[in-house]
Amino acid sequence: MGSGPSSSIKGKKSHLQVTGPNLVKDTSIVKPNRGTKLVPVTLRSGNRKRQKYRPRSDSGSEGYGSEDSSSVTSLTDFASHRENMPEPKSNQRHSPLRTISTIHSENDEALIRANPELITVLKSFDECVALLDQKNKWRQDHNEAYFKNVNKTLKQNVLANFQEIGLPEKRQVMGNHLVNKGFPKLLFDFYECVIEEADIQAFDNRLAQEAFDGDDILKVLVTLREIFWNFTDSCPAFSKAVSETGLFGYLVNDLSAIKEDGLNALEDDDRRFAFNSAVAILHNCAHNPDTERSIYRSVNAVDSLLPFLESKQPQIQMVTLLALADMIDDNECDKIQGSENVFQFLIDMIKAAHEAPDRRKEGFHASELIDGLSGLAKVEKNKTLIMDTTPLGIFRQILEDGHEKELASVCRAVRELAFNQTNIGIIKKEDVLCRKLLELRAHKSREVSLIAQGAVFQLKLDVSTPTSTPRDLPPIPDEDTQGASDASKGVAHKQRRPLPKRLSRGELPWNGQHIMISYNWDNQKEILKIKDRLVDRGYNVWLDLEHMHTYMLDAMAQAVEKAFVVLVCFSEKYKLSQNCRAEAEYAFHKQKEIIPLKMQAGYNPDGWLGILIGSKLYYEFSETFHFDEKVKDLLHAIDKLPNNPKYASGSAVSSQKTLSPVPQEPVSDSPGTVEKWTRDEIDHWLRKHKLDPTRIGKLQSLTGEKLVFLKKMSTKAPDFFFRCLENKLGLDSLEDIVNMSNALEHLMVR
């Protein structure tokens, strides 16, 4: 294969032991994983004078990547803060202290105590933070010696330590520490400084190869890209922080320059560093559910990646497809569907990886390929197209002989595909697959167990059938005897964990009706404020934060069933979450009163979420709106719900005040009759409430149905309601608005 006009340039490969899922081919660009040990790329030194750079054609080499984990926060700051934390109180109105981020922080702290060598590593990181924090020095002392010194320090203190410490949990702690020190932003600022100093319009593969050939200032860019690549993959908190810098704009610009050189310039896998590092960083950040997809749309990332799907190189096709899988939304799905056989290509890759001894194809692990399929399946139209490629056969095989990570990936993919009624019918015909899903609810891995429970719930499988507790598996040993089992029994025992039991009514926090809040953890801070206001009002509130240690889908189902209203706190991240979708759709299926709360400014729900919310009026709690005003409107709307148990019982809505029955209209406008009112009846009703339709001409357009609609809007969307009174009905005086509002308040409708 040709490698472009610079085929004589020699790249230096890095070497590693591949034991976990890679983003790119393991013989070229590498992505560290569990148990992976990296040997640094040797950057050849050179004595070239600095010069201005312009993008030309191909060339490149390779660098590093990293391991995936869960998002956490810093333990260093948390340790000092925790000492001043107040003791938890039993009163429900106080927000719980042990949020998910708090628990993750405590885990970080415990890991450092158990591994004191991390203290030395984190101190060396602090030196780099201090070095990059000297922004004035960047601008004044920007000579080759200075950049060479910075590059050496970053490689020794950051990259070398990352390569030496291969355990993913430790790498995650390292990334969290850097985030808490503001390192990602400092690193990006320095990246911009280097780009400006070298006068680089785009960092393409040719410039990357010149760095490997010895250009000192370009070496710094390679090192910075390697750090971004490693830590965006090993630490979700780091990838989220990077997504909030301006790095994506530079990466997309680089891809545009690389595309102009032609796809043939990427045929040599030794010369793709600029391409692979750009796509890998974008993918690592997009794969993190905490990053905002809107950022990718703002820099036109999808359109910049699409041309690379046409490459003849399977590795380039795959790395591009996996990146797009976490960026495409329902409005962009047609773009990827235009690529020939893209879904079949991915299924074929999964099959080939499953058959390979190392469970890889083109350097990609089977679990990573399945996760990519799940990402594509989040788009509603893709669910049917993916099912047309008959993926259930390979899924069944993996469930029968797959490794733990593959089992979790298949369960997640099946659950995503099951958010389609037609697909549910097809999947339930696969008896072996369904039986395996039921069995996996008792898997030793909590991750596999919970995801399998989600798939079983979504498929509505009968959990009382014998397949849910297969007789050929051994009983679950007691904890005190399990360790004494022999090797063969130990393996068998570890494959089983107690099946989740359905909670009884008495196990819920209270027996009466409550408000359920369905939300994404990214909005936890705002949700806790809303919850506290609801509790202050005298309401019982259910949200999984307070029951996270025992939270299961059965508990969620009962929480929905016992709720008199469900607050759906929606955002794009809410839409992409399988758990959030299960909650919202179950509430809709149970015909629960749903009040949408918009948590993300500028987001318009589409796909399943757009259908569920439909024309419902929402209350916006994004940062662009005043919280106190919106929560007051929300409380007013909940207070006036017809099914509110506070009305039925006559109990207090707050701890101090009681509700008095709202005076109602006489029988002439009793429920069920308002919609059928004649013109004369409507005019009589208006005049009785001091609203003369001859004086206010627009009132003559009112019908019974419109009155019922206005009545509902007055509680569900007060802002919209008062705009209608003024703009649609011509009520321009405060007295008329008050009269109409009072009249509708007393109007009895269903």
Higher pLDDT, 678 or 468: 678
Give the long-range contacts of residues 432-436, CB within 8 A, separation 24 or more.
Answer: 432/396, 432/400, 433/392, 433/395, 433/396, 433/399, 434/459, 434/461, 434/467, 435/467, 435/470, 436/396, 436/399, 436/400
CA distance 110 to 222: 34
Q: What is the mean pLDDT of residues 82-111?
A: 53
Computed over every residue of the chain, the mean pLDDT equals 75
Give yes or no for a contact between 78 and 177, defined as CB atoms under 8 angstroms apart.
Answer: no
463-484 residue pLDDT tens:
775 444 333 333 333 333 333 3
- For the ranges 141-155, 187-201, 228-242, 681-695, the maximum mean pLDDT occurs at 228-242
The helix or strand, by DSSP H or E, that contains position 553, with its residue range, turns out to be helix 553-562
Give yes or no for a contact between 396 and 436, defined as CB atoms under 8 angstroms apart.
Answer: yes
Tell me, what's the pLDDT at 206? 86
Tell me, what's the pLDDT at 27? 32
Give yes or no for a contact between 174 and 122, defined as CB atoms under 8 angstroms apart.
Answer: yes
Give yes or no for a contact between 299 and 252, defined as CB atoms under 8 angstroms apart.
Answer: yes
Q: Does domain 505-649 have CATH number 3.40.50.11540?
A: no
143-171 residue pLDDT tens:
677 888 889 999 999 999 999 988 888 99
Percent of the chain at pLDDT exceeding 90: 35
Give yes or no for a contact between 456 and 437, defined as CB atoms under 8 angstroms apart.
Answer: yes
Tell me, what's the pLDDT at 743? 85
Global confidence as pTM: 0.65
CA distance 377 to 463: 26
